[in-house]
Amino acid sequence: MFQDSGDQIMASSDESQIDQQLQDLQERAGGLIPKCQFSSSSRLYGELRRRGRVEHRAHAYVLGTFFQMDQAQYLFEFQTMRERAIELIAILENEEQVRQIQSDFSREQYDYLVYSMSSCAYENLAEATGQLEGYNSDGMHACITDGIQICRRTGKIGCVSCFREYACDVYLAADDADIAGHQCRLVMEQDGAWSDRGDRRWLATSKLAWLAALHGRFDEALTTMDRALEFTQSEAVSLKFESRMRTLMARDSIRLTAGFPSLIEADSEFVHMPTAEECPVFEHALDLNAALRAVQHENWDEASRLLSHWDQRLQKCNGTHLWFETRLRLIAVKRLSGQQRQAETLARQLEQRARSANDYLTLRRLQLLLDTDTPSPLAIAAEPRRAGVADTQTASAAPAPLSADDSEMSLEEPGDAVTPLSKQIESFRMRMNDLMQEPTQEKFDSIRAEILAIGANEANHQEDACGLLHLMGYLVGAGDDGEAVWKWANSLAAPHRSNAVALSVLGVLGDALRGCPNETLAEKITTERTEQLFRKSLELDATKPRNFLRAGDHFAAADNQGEAERCFARAFRLDRVD
């Protein structure tokens, strides 16, 4: 009996010792965060995670996973960030996952983890995906809505601001500065408790300053950045050193582009800047600013060396979002130094990847960069200036931001242009209006038959083909001859497979046939086929608001709300009126 008692005491002592070791490890790792020594901190949290599993301590394991996830972004380990977020979400959504680590983990402890970490896990997953694939890539808009719902479900309303920050990046990549700015202002106007990240008005204000700088409004941008610096000293800011350094580096980017010297080195906190190994994200920002400084002195080789290094490094770690920014600046340097051929080669690769990511802002900045005679080193819609020139001159010289065509080509409004069938199509439109006002089967059948009687040889002009396909979308009817109609439609569209509107209206007709009373058509015309048509149309031309509207309708009907929202948002960005 005494032996058993002694064993129990020793076991209890061993357990207490393990708990103390894990607590010490956690405190050491956490103590490095305020200093932005993220590499060392992440290694310690990795050890905490490993020990937590080995010693069957679920709280230590989850905590290590959480902080490795959160710190991966500072280390450009975006794939690790995503993997940790996915694992954490699985644990927080299924209590049995945590039981596999520690069978006696209390329900109260688990509920607290769900409450405290769920929103952050989803937000980090969204951020990791945005960094890896681009912030306007497929499904990113859905993350905003889903994330806010998670905040409300868990009761952490303060975390909504985190998704507002993320939404700013999404809408900025979608080239919708108005909505991006609105998301930032929502953070600045937040009424109530902040999330565990603390007061983030400094970051929202910094993003507003960047929006102003993107359009050449340097005076406004620098004034706004000064406000961001003031916010970094707010009592509720959780990581004051990080927030100040990030804001100072962002301000220097604007100052250097405007022709002014950098100021960060004169800041009293700069001496505490972590090494490049501890915080690569700081190293990247400092090197980009060093490249801007080299541009000021027309030291093209140095600017190119700095940017080329990061261009390659970001490609290796799949840091797509940051690579877009770095590649744009590298192309700007090549153009400024007269290396036009190299600039064009670099631009082709960037354009291809930006289109795949639906990053319309990058595409617009790239086009401006290639078209202008005086490229900006930041690839913005403004002429770069030298030190001593007033900001008002730069701002007034800056052209207004490019917008999409105010009105789409007449492909969507048959009859507006003179084509071989324009008068006939206009007549069909008039008869369709009459049919809508006073519908009869006779009128319906007459218009339908006449349109189907026009073959591909006769409708060989792209506007005529688009006009007929557009009208047929309203004339599907019962779909008894749906297969014949679909064959006719494809024959009309085939010669114009590189025309965005042709593919878009063909997709609408395909969806209409799929949804008609003839159920066999849904098997013959798959939703994958029509989705392919819509996606290809958007890839061919990202400036047609109605193409995005039609694609949005398709995705909404398919219950793909994330893609629907992305398409509707782009349509609204391109046309605020119609």
For residue 313, CA distances in Å to 143, 317, 401, 439, 497 come to 28, 7, 31, 64, 38
The token duo for 578 is: 């119609």
Q: Is the predicted pLDDT of residue 429 greater than 60, yes or no? A: yes
Please tell me the predicted confidence (pLDDT) of residue 164: 76
| Cα–Cα distance measured from residue 230 to residue 248, given in angstroms and rounded to the nearest whole number | 11
Residue 210, burial from CB neighbour count under 10 angstroms (0-12, 13-18, 19+): buried
CATH number attached to the domain at 410-574 = 1.25.40.10
- Rounded percentage of the chain residues whose pLDDT exceeds 70: 90
| Cα–Cα distance measured from residue 488 to residue 493, given in angstroms and rounded to the nearest whole number | 9
417, 408 Cβ separation under 8 angstroms: no
Of the two residues 381 and 414, the one the predictor is more confident about is 381
Please tell me the predicted confidence (pLDDT) of residue 411: 38
391, 397 Cβ separation under 8 angstroms: no
Q: Give residue for tokens 């071989």.
A: 420
555, 563 Cβ separation under 8 angstroms: yes
The size of the chain, in residues, is 578
First-to-last CA distance in the chain?
A: 86
469, 505 Cβ separation under 8 angstroms: yes
Please tell me the predicted confidence (pLDDT) of residue 386: 36
DSSP reduced 3-state for 554: helix
| Cα–Cα distance measured from residue 564 to residue 559, given in angstroms and rounded to the nearest whole number | 8
> Which are the contacts of 226, defined by CB distance < 8 A and separation ≥ 6?
251
Helix (H), strand (E), coil (C) string for 188-222: HCCCCCCCCCECCHHHHHHHHHHHHHHCCCHHHHH
| Cα–Cα distance measured from residue 52 to residue 50, given in angstroms and rounded to the nearest whole number | 5
User: What does the pLDDT look like over 343-397, one tens digit per residue?
Assistant: 999 999 999 999 999 999 999 999 999 999 889 999 985 444 433 333 333 333 3
Q: Is the predicted pLDDT of residue 261 greater than 50, yes or no? A: yes
Q: What is the mean pLDDT of the chain?
A: 87
Please tell me the predicted confidence (pLDDT) of residue 232: 95
The token duo for 292 is: 């801007």
Residue 412 is given by DSSP the state G
- Rounded percentage of the chain residues whose pLDDT exceeds 90: 69
Please tell me the predicted confidence (pLDDT) of residue 403: 33
Query: CA 424 from chain center: how many Å?
Result: 44
Q: Give residue for tokens 């069957």.
A: 56
Domain residues of the chain, as ranges? 20-133, 410-574
Q: Is the predicted pLDDT of residue 296 greater than 60, yes or no? A: yes
User: What does the pLDDT look like over 435-492, one tens digit per residue?
Assistant: 988 999 999 999 999 999 999 999 999 999 999 999 999 999 999 999 999 999 999 9
410: confidence class by pLDDT, cuts 50, 70, 90:
very low
User: What does the pLDDT look like over 77-114, one tens digit per residue?
Assistant: 999 999 999 999 999 999 999 999 999 999 999 999 99
Q: Is the predicted pLDDT of residue 28 greater than 50, yes or no? A: yes
Please tell me the predicted confidence (pLDDT) of residue 390: 35
Q: Is the predicted pLDDT of residue 326 greater than 90, yes or no? A: yes
Helix axes 201-214, 177-188, angle to 10 degrees: 160
Going by C-alpha positions, the residue among 501, 507, 573 that lies closest to residue 541 is: 501
Please tell me the predicted confidence (pLDDT) of residue 189: 82
Beta bridge partners of 198: 237
| Cα–Cα distance measured from residue 77 to residue 71, given in angstroms and rounded to the nearest whole number | 9
Confidence (pTM): 0.77
User: What does the pLDDT look like over 188-234, one tens digit per residue?
Assistant: 887 667 777 788 899 999 999 999 999 889 999 999 999 999 999 99
Going by C-alpha positions, the residue among 530, 501, 499 that lies closest to residue 514 is: 530
Please tell me the predicted confidence (pLDDT) of residue 149: 78
Per mean pLDDT, which range of 61-65, 119-123, 271-275, 288-292 is the poorest? 119-123
User: What does the pLDDT look like over 124-163, one tens digit per residue?
Assistant: 998 999 999 999 988 777 777 777 777 777 777 667 667 7
Going by C-alpha positions, the residue among 200, 205, 241, 281 that lies closest to residue 213 is: 205
Please tell me the predicted confidence (pLDDT) of residue 394: 32
Q: Give residue for tokens 């280390």.
A: 75
